[in-house]
């Protein structure tokens, strides 16, 4: 499958969805069309992994992708953008994909136009609604794709998977903010399994498993194929998020689109941090806990914490876990009865997902 061509087609379809929505809202004036304008800017970036996995899930049953799949793939990307907008509010992130996070964009818009009131509160309120706007567009797109799909039973199965994905990621996101606040009451021994649960439900399942299974369900894939895809997707999704956690601390801002050490400033309680905490003394843990989530971390502070994560072996342990999860995913894929062409495409995309430049 030519995934580059598929990404181009999905990008064009997303642009069409936003153009149509801009025309629909035009009578309300430029204040409202700012939503679609910023959505177009925000959605210009991204690797479209979810759209690609959706297509490859379908390709396990047929190499002839229907037009209805464009809407479903675009809907998955719109859902992802909505999740990022809401996530950035909770994390108090300033940037996303090299541009201002949604709440910062709307905050600055308030200031630029000299409006009355609290610019920061306006930014957060607007970004909440912006995320909801993207969720609505996502639901419209997937509903249209499922409606236009020829197989009614397959559409219903895919819809159930889409709905479960939304529930899972919402629960995972809540667990994420719980961990950022509950850590003083969590024993060190419990931190790692709790971080792994967040990792799986906040990102891994919705980034890879759900798009794959949605696509495969639409193709009418047999239950054993769906089971094989889940066995492949969950460890791959874990490896994907673990790589993100590494990049969130050690990544190059030119690659990640976010400041270096951003996860440290946001106080993310990731597997990487949990691994380090296991190796630190009580006083060292207290010091690291006092620094995580601080908005005043300097470049020197971040460099020192990075060194600590290296010295404790936490980074190496996570890299080893990435390798292990990736191997588990590839073993599941190669032992499946999925047709070889689809296996080859999934293997290539899996490699791209996990081996990303820092």
* pLDDT at site 4: 85
* pLDDT at site 78: 97
Q: What share of the chain is helix, strand, coil (3-state, %, to 5)?
A: 80, 0, 20
Measured in degrees and rounded to the nearest 5, phi and psi for residue 10 equal: -65, -40
Give the C-alpha separation, 183 to 210, whole Å: 30
* pLDDT at site 357: 56
* pLDDT at site 340: 93
* pLDDT at site 46: 81
Q: Which residues contact 314 (CB under 8 A, 6 or more apart)?
A: 272, 273, 275, 276, 279
Q: What domains are there in the chain, each with its CATH number?
A: 1-44+67-148 (no CATH), 152-358 (1.10.600.10)
Give the C-alpha separation, 147 to 155, whole Å: 7
Q: Using the 8-state DSSP alphabet, how is residue 201 labeled?
A: I
* pLDDT at site 329: 97
* pLDDT at site 258: 79
Global confidence as pTM: 0.93
Give the C-alpha separation, 200 to 172, whole Å: 8
Q: How buried is 281 (Cβ within 10 angstroms: 0-12 exposed, 13-18 middle, 19+ buried)?
A: exposed
pLDDT along the chain (358 residues), means of 10: 87 96 93 92 90 96 90 97 95 89 97 97 97 97 96 96 96 94 93 94 92 97 96 96 94 81 90 95 94 91 95 97 97 95 95 79
* pLDDT at site 73: 97
Q: Using the 8-state DSSP alphabet, how is residue 185 labeled?
A: G
Q: Which two tokens stand for residue 51?
A: 């759209």
């Amino acid at each position: 499958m030519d995934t580059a061509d598929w990404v181009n087609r999905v990008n064009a379809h997303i642009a069409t969805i936003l153009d149509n929505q801009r025309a629909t809202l035009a009578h309300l004036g430029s204040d409202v069309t700012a939503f679609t304008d910023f959505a177009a800017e925000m959605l210009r970036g991204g690797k479209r992994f979810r759209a690609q996995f959706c297509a490859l899930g379908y390709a396990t049953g047929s190499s002839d992708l229907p037009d209805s799949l464009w809407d479903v793939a675009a809907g998955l990307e719109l859902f992802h953008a909505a999740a990022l907008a809401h996530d950035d509010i909770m994390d108090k992130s300033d940037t996303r994909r090299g541009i201002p996070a949604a709440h910062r964009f709307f905050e600055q818009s308030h200031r630029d136009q000299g409006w009355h009131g609290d610019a920061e509160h306006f930014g957060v309120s607007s970004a909440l609604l912006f995320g909801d706007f993207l969720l609505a567009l996502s639901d419209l797109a997937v509903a249209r794709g499922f409606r236009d799909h020829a197989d009614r039973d397959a559409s219903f199965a895919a819809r159930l998977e889409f709905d479960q994905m939304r529930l899972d990621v919402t629960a995972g996101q809540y667990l994420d903010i719980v961990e950022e606040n509950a850590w003083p009451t969590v024993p060190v021994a419990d931190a790692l399994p709790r971080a792994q649960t967040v990792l799986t439900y906040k990102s891994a399942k919705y980034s890879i498993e759900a798009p794959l299974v949605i696509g495969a369900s639409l193709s009418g894939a047999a239950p054993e194929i769906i089971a094989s895809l889940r066995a492949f997707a969950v460890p791959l999704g874990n490896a994907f998020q673990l790589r993100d956690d590494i990049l969130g601390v050690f990544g190059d801002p030119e690659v990640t689109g976010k400041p270096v050490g951003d996860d440290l400033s946001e106080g993310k309680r990731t597997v990487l941090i949990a691994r380090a905490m296991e190796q630190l003394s009580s006083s060292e843990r207290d010091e690291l806990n006092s620094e995580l989530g601080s908005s005043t971390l300097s470049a020197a502070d971040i460099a020192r914490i990075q060194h600590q994560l290296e010295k404790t072996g936490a980074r190496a342990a996570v890299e080893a876990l990435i390798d292990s999860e990736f191997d588990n995913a590839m073993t599941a894929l190669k032992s499946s009865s999925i047709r070889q062409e689809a296996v080859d495409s999934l293997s290539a995309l899996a490699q791209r997902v996990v081996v990303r430049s820092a």
